[in-house]
């Protein structure tokens, strides 16, 4: 085995987005494209020689080939040991768990999350730091800087590693250990939740559930936890075999793309509980019988009921939410007397709060919820948290949610996504909005008076770093909000997201359909931003 130094030239499009670098598979398959980015990661790091790296991905197309390249480059660049998931599989939260448990220097996670997979679809790569969380902006900016200047990369000339056989092998002077992808993560879950209580709840016939892994990474985890450890009937987990193209589906756990699960939970003889996960296992959707729980409500309900769960029985240190996420959890924090932090979108912004003990639970409206147990959002963790609450309270999902609204009020909330919009048009729309911001405060739009308008900027309370232009907020005097931002997770064109929220404390008015309750705000958002005129779209691609 010998180390080769390969001459290369920079690519101009390797700037990481909200969660790493995401492109079409064919882009990553270009000669030197993946290698350049991996070498740029290594070039941006210091002190990793002889240290441990964790590698794994969601099993999508090109996952195995990419891992072989990364292993050989890690060996050539001086890592001492790599832990890689069996078959190249590691869910994103499991990768964070493995990094933390083994005190690894960091990890490389291969995923494009909820984006479709297959040879004509998406692939992604991101670097996680030693706390198990996504690299902060200063690290991703350093990676990008190196990607613009790279002239060569190092790779070991060696045979491929057998990723399917558990055990240790040697790759040059580096040790490669293929690990069980599931056990460490499942053990961590068992330490947080009352598995005995949940197991009894299921055995007594008080809970019938359906878990949809959408042919993505959580299949093996869900089968091991729900069917094997908690005793749910075989078949509780559907679409549980990870496939390179996710079975031709879109592994995004929402009401549109998880339609199989929605049809089951809204059909005749529906089970009591349903949940879906996304491509890499960090997102979740929670359903009751003919009842959908918004991610924003889910975060608030977990915070309000955390005392019922063994791993969170003592007081929470605080909670945090991304700026576009509804303010439902704010109401819980205020009532329970704890701090609530508002951050930009992107799980990396929660890392410092969690590390500093300022927050225990975190959540994003984009179906991501998590806690200080790892440094990523965690889909199956959220499902288990709900099951633990259900087992204690012995109530339906719907009754728990409605009881919560009676106590805290209901935050009507919806997100409208316009996907694959022409990027120039989308950026012009946002530029126009930014120019309007200084003129909006005090203006009257029908029943709504603007109380504030800004382009959200965040100063990290721990390290003082500043993140600007994180989304345009328009807040009204009655507590309603409209938020506009461009997503950083797409690979084609731009995704324009509009977030709409209104607060309803009156129990008698809490049973409207959200689109009905928010109808005036929806119309107003189009009037202010000129969405149809600017994008040419008559309606959103996805409404959640």
Give 435-444 pLDDT, tens digit per residue.
999 999 999 9
Predicted local distance difference test score (pLDDT) of residue 80: 98
User: Residue 269: CB partners within 8 Å, gap ≥ 6?
Assistant: none
Residue 17 binned pLDDT confidence (cut-offs 50, 70, 90): confident
- Give the residues across from 23 on adjacent strands: 123
Tell me the mean pLDDT in the region 524-535.
93
If you average pLDDT over every residue of the chain, what do you get? 95
Q: What are the pLDDT digits (tens) for 234-266? A: 999 999 999 999 999 999 998 889 999 999 999
Q: What are the pLDDT digits (tens) for 277-334? A: 999 999 999 999 999 999 999 999 999 999 999 999 888 999 999 999 999 999 999 9
Query: What percent of the chain has a predicted confidence (pLDDT) above 70?
Result: 99
Rounded Cα distance, 83 and 72, in Å: 13
Rounded Cα distance, 215 and 253, in Å: 12
CATH 3.30.310.50 fits 410-543, yes or no: yes
Tell me the mean pLDDT in the region 403-412.
97
Strand 152-157 vs strand 2-7: parallel, antiparallel, or unpaired? Answer: antiparallel
Tell me the mean pLDDT in the region 361-380.
96
Strand 466-467 vs strand 458-459: parallel, antiparallel, or unpaired? Answer: antiparallel
Rounded Cα distance, 532 and 504, in Å: 29
Instruction: Kindly list the domain boundaries of the chain, sorted by start residue.
Output: 2-181, 185-405, 410-543
Architecture of domain 185-405: 3-Layer(aba) Sandwich (3.40)
Q: Decide whether 185-405 matches 410-543 in CATH topology.
A: no
Predicted local distance difference test score (pLDDT) of residue 125: 97
At the top level of CATH, the class of 2-181 is alpha beta
| Cβ atoms of 495 and 417 closer than 8 Å | yes
Q: What are the pLDDT digits (tens) for 468-505? A: 999 999 999 999 999 999 985 555 688 999 999 999 99
Q: What are the pLDDT digits (tens) for 117-175? A: 999 999 999 999 999 999 988 999 999 999 999 999 999 999 999 999 999 999 999 99
- Give the residues across from 6 on adjacent strands: 153
Quickly tell me which residue has 């009257």 as its tokens: 444
Helices within 204-341 (DSSP H only): 218-222, 259-265, 295-304, 328-336
Predicted local distance difference test score (pLDDT) of residue 490: 54
Q: What are the pLDDT digits (tens) for 63-105? A: 999 999 999 999 999 999 999 999 999 999 999 999 999 999 9
Predicted local distance difference test score (pLDDT) of residue 488: 59
Predicted local distance difference test score (pLDDT) of residue 346: 86
Q: Is the pLDDT of residue 18 over 80?
A: no
Catalytic residues: 113
Query: What percent of the chain has a predicted confidence (pLDDT) above 90?
Result: 93
Q: What's the alpha-carbon Rg for the chain, to the nearest Å? A: 23
């Amino acid at each position: 085995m010998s180390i080769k130094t390969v001459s290369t030239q920079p690519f101009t499009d390797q700037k990481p987005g909200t969660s790493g670098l995401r492109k079409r598979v064919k882009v990553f398959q270009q000669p030197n494209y993946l290698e350049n980015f991996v070498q740029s990661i290594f070039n941006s790091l210091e002190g990793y020689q002889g240290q441990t790296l964790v590698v794994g991905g969601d099993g999508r197309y090109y996952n195995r080939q990419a891992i072989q390249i990364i292993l050989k480059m890690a060996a050539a660049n001086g890592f001492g040991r790599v832990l890689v998931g069996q078959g190249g599989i590691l869910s994103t939260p499991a990768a964070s768990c493995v990094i933390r448990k083994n005190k690894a220097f960091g990890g490389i996670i291969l995923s494009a999350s909820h984006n479709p997979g297959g040879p004509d679809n998406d692939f992604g790569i991101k670097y996680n730091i030693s706390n198990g969380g996504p690299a902060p902006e200063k690290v991703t900016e350093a990676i990008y800087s190196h990607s613009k200047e790279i002239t060569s990369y190092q790779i070991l000339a060696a045979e491929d590693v057998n990723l399917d056989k558990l055990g240790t092998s040697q790759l040059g002077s580096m040790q490669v250990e293929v690990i069980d992808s599931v056990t460490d993560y499942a053990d961590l879950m068992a330490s947080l939740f009352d598995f005995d209580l949940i197991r009894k709840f299921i055995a007594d016939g008080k809970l019938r559930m359906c878990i949809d892994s959408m042919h993505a990474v959580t299949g093996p985890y869900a089968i091991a936890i729900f069917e094997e450890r908690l005793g749910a009937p075989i078949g509780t987990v559907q679409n549980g075999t990870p496939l390179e193209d996710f079975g031709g589906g879109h592994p995004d756990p929402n009401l549109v793309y998880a339609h199989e699960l929605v049809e089951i939970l809204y059909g005749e003889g529906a089970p009591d509980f349903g949940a879906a996960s996304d491509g890499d296992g960090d997102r979740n959707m929670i359903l009751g019988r003919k009842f959908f729980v918004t991610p924003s409500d889910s975060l608030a309900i977990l915070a309000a009921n955390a005392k019922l769960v063994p791993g969170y029985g003592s007081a929470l240190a605080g909670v945090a939410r991304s700026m576009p996420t509804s303010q439902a959890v704010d109401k819980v924090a205020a009532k329970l007397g704890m701090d609530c932090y508002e951050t930009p979108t992107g799980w990396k912004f929660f890392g410092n709060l969690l590390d500093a003990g300022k927050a225990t639970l975190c959540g994003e409206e984009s179906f991501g919820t998590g806690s200080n147990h790892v440094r990523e959002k965690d889909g199956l963790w959220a499902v288990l948290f709900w099951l633990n609450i259900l087992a204690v309270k012995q109530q339906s999902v719907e009754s728990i949610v409605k009881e919560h609204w009676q106590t805290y009020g209901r935050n009507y909330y919806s997100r409208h996504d316009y996907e694959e919009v022409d990027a120039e048009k989308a950026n012009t729309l946002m530029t126009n909005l930014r120019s309007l911001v200084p003129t909006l405060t005090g203006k009257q739009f029908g029943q709504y008076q603007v109380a504030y308008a800004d382009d959200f900027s965040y100063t990290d309370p721990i390290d003082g770093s500043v993140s600007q232009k994180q989304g345009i907020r328009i807040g009204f005097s009655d507590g309603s909000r409209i938020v506009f931002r461009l997503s950083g997770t797409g690979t084609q064109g731009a995704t324009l997201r509009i977030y709409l929220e209104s607060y309803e404390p009156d129990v008698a008015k809490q049973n409207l359909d959200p689109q009905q309750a928010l109808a005036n705000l929806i119309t107003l958002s189009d009037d202010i931003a000129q969405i149809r005129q600017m994008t040419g779209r008559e309606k959103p691609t996805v409404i959640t």
